[in-house]
Amino acid sequence: MTLRYLPDAGKLYGPEFARDPQAIYAAMRAQHGAVAPAEIAPGVEAHLVIGYQAAIDVLTNAAGVWIKDARAWQARLPDTPEAAAMVGMLGYRVNVLFADGAEHARYRKVIADCFGMIQPHKLRDLVIDVSDSLIRRFAATGSADLAGDFARQIPLRVFNRLLGRPDADSSALISALSDMMEADGDVGARGTEAYGRYIGELIEAKYAARGDDLTSWFIDHPAGLSPEEVLQHLILILGAGFEPMASLISNTISRMVSDDRYYNSLSNGALSTYDALLEVVRAEPSMANYGPYFVSRPTEFHGTWIQPGELVLVSYAAANTEPCDVPEELRSDGGAYVGFGAGPHRCPATDPALLIAMTAIERLTSHLSDLELTVPREELAWRPGPFHRSLAHLPVRFTPIRPDQPGESPWSAQHPSSSTPSDPISQPKSDDYATSAPWSS
Ligand code: HEM
């Protein structure tokens, strides 16, 4: 079967999907098996890969038919605002995500080299700095929305510093990216435009004056990326680093504060933050459905015919949670997962992503050790959109702490690497993060 009919396609948008995506995946699985027709916005179709083995088959490209070039798909898109809004996330760009073969390897090396220049302990110091400055804003009040006040602020503030951009710009960046990920008609299109503007200004500033930052390393990498290639990779890195990072942090906190196994861990170490993070990557991955893939020739795949130009999305969320005959306690893999992808396009930033999330959450729970949700977890609202699993709000209460109280607090525990700890967050010293460039030795 191919995507010419859609009466029974799973709808990956709207309140029903946001409330309980697993119910939609289960219905799709029951009706179609490993690959199911889906609608990611009104009138925009995709094949959704929901079986674990099928996901691995696409991601590792064992059959050699899978390609990333989205242009043939784009040419067939209906001329509607809903379809246009999908282009921000899925439209072809000159970057690693949409490249294959040698072109992909060239881009991937630049990313690996430049991310490899960030020293983990420096990144940790930076996240501590950013986390404490955010916690200081609400610690004395006894309540917070940890999605908006904390999780969604962390990645962009961290990347702002890593890229060498003033903190004052982070709010504009947060709203542009949130709009873009919402992928909802005009809002999505507006977000895409604002995001492009932000990155354009960043590039212009760094070509004019290099710093010790990711942007400058991209520009100076011996692979010799063109200005357009640098621009497109910064767009990708900020987009890829923001929404999945923010949701990984808030989804993990929401589990830790509503599940006794983790609640206990805050005081007696039953299960760690790292355990919680891996559980989220497996059971509720923040990048729920993505990894756009296409076939280079008509292909019969797990019972479905797929034609060139048809969009295939991998449902990391559905693949990870596919019912399995082997009971959990007998599985030696602890529950295999593809929450960071697999194969050549597997997330190249898994280690920094886990480090950022773990440091931020541990900072939060070490300062505010009695966090609890103000509503049961089942009543939390999730943001709409086909690609992410992302909490709209994460309302918590806790015993307030004050700047003048004894013991460690986000005020007293300012990290030695902080330059000036007042808000807005201070800029780093120029040599803060870098190890030496692999291409300079
Ligand atoms: C530090 C933050 C992050 C950065 C900079 C980042 C960057 C990237 C980049 C550049 C790619 C494309 C790689 C390629 O095509 O070769 C990618 C892929 C991917 N990332 Fe990340 N990422 C980050 C965090 C995350 C998080 C937190 C998740 C989810 C838990 C995630 C999930 C994925 C997945 C599933 C893919 C594979 C896409 C595919 O199959 O084509 N990433 N990431």
Q: 237-267, pLDDT tens digit by residue? A: 988 898 899 999 999 999 999 988 876 655 5
The residue whose CA has the least distance to atom 14 of ligand 1 is 345
Q: 65-109, pLDDT tens digit by residue? A: 999 999 999 999 999 989 988 998 899 999 999 999 999 999 999
The residue whose CA has the least distance to atom 43 of ligand 1 is 347
The residue whose CA has the least distance to atom 18 of ligand 1 is 347
Backbone phi, psi, residue 289, to 5°: -135, 115
pLDDT tops 60 at residue 334:
no
Looking at residue 12, what is its pLDDT?
Answer: 97
Q: How confident is the model at residue 427 (pLDDT cuts 50, 70, 90)?
A: very low
Atom of ligand 1 nearest to the CA of 68: 41
d(CA 162, CA 114): 11
Overall domain count for the chain = 1
Q: How confident is the model at residue 145 (pLDDT cuts 50, 70, 90)?
A: very high
pLDDT tops 60 at residue 363:
yes
Looking at residue 32, what is its pLDDT?
Answer: 95
- Choose the residue to mutate in 347, 351, 389 for probing ligand 1, maximizing ligand atoms within 8 Å of C-beta: 347
Tell whether 334 is covered by a domain.
yes
pLDDT tops 60 at residue 135:
yes
Among 72-76, 171-175, 437-441, the range of highest mean pLDDT? 72-76
Domain membership of residue 33 as a residue range = 10-397
Tell whether 49 is covered by a domain.
yes
- What residues line ligand 1, using a CB cutoff of 6 Å? 59, 96-97, 108, 111, 236-237, 240-241, 244-245, 248, 281, 285-287, 290-291, 314, 316, 339-341, 345, 347-349, 352-353
Q: How confident is the model at residue 429 (pLDDT cuts 50, 70, 90)?
A: very low
Percent of the chain with pLDDT over 90: 68
Tell whether 28 is covered by a domain.
yes
Taking the centre of ligand 1 as the mean of its atom positions, its distance from the CA of residue 292, in whole angstroms, is 12
329 compared with 258, residue with greater pLDDT: 258
119 compared with 175, residue with greater pLDDT: 119
d(CA 402, CA 425): 20
User: How does strand 10-11 pair with strand 35-41?
Assistant: parallel
Q: How confident is the model at residue 325 (pLDDT cuts 50, 70, 90)?
A: low
Looking at residue 162, what is its pLDDT?
Answer: 94
Atom of ligand 1 nearest to the CA of 115: 5
Q: How confident is the model at residue 431 (pLDDT cuts 50, 70, 90)?
A: very low
Q: 176-195, pLDDT tens digit by residue? A: 877 776 656 677 778 878 88
Atom of ligand 1 nearest to the CA of 356: 1
Q: 20-40, pLDDT tens digit by residue? A: 999 999 999 999 999 999 999
The encoded tokens of residue 398 equal: 């806790």
Tell whether 423 is covered by a domain.
no
414 compared with 116, residue with greater pLDDT: 116
- Secondary element (H or E) of residue 56: helix 52-60
pLDDT tops 80 at residue 159:
yes
The residue whose CA has the least distance to atom 11 of ligand 1 is 347
Contact 313, 289 (CB under 8 A): yes
CATH number of the domain encompassing residue 187: 1.10.630.10
Cβ-proximal residues to 1 (8 Å cutoff; 6+ apart), any chain: 37, 304, 305
Taking the centre of ligand 1 as the mean of its atom positions, its distance from the CA of residue 288, in whole angstroms, is 12
The residue whose CA has the least distance to atom 16 of ligand 1 is 345
Query: Residue 186 in 3-state DSSP?
Result: helix
Position 293: which residue type? Answer: Y
Tell whether 31 is covered by a domain.
yes
Tell whether 435 is covered by a domain.
no
Atom of ligand 1 nearest to the CA of 280: 30
CA torsion angle for 118, 124, 126, 127 (degrees, to 10)? 120
Tell whether 262 is covered by a domain.
yes
d(CA 275, CA 211): 37
Looking at residue 420, what is its pLDDT?
Answer: 36
pLDDT tops 50 at residue 316:
yes
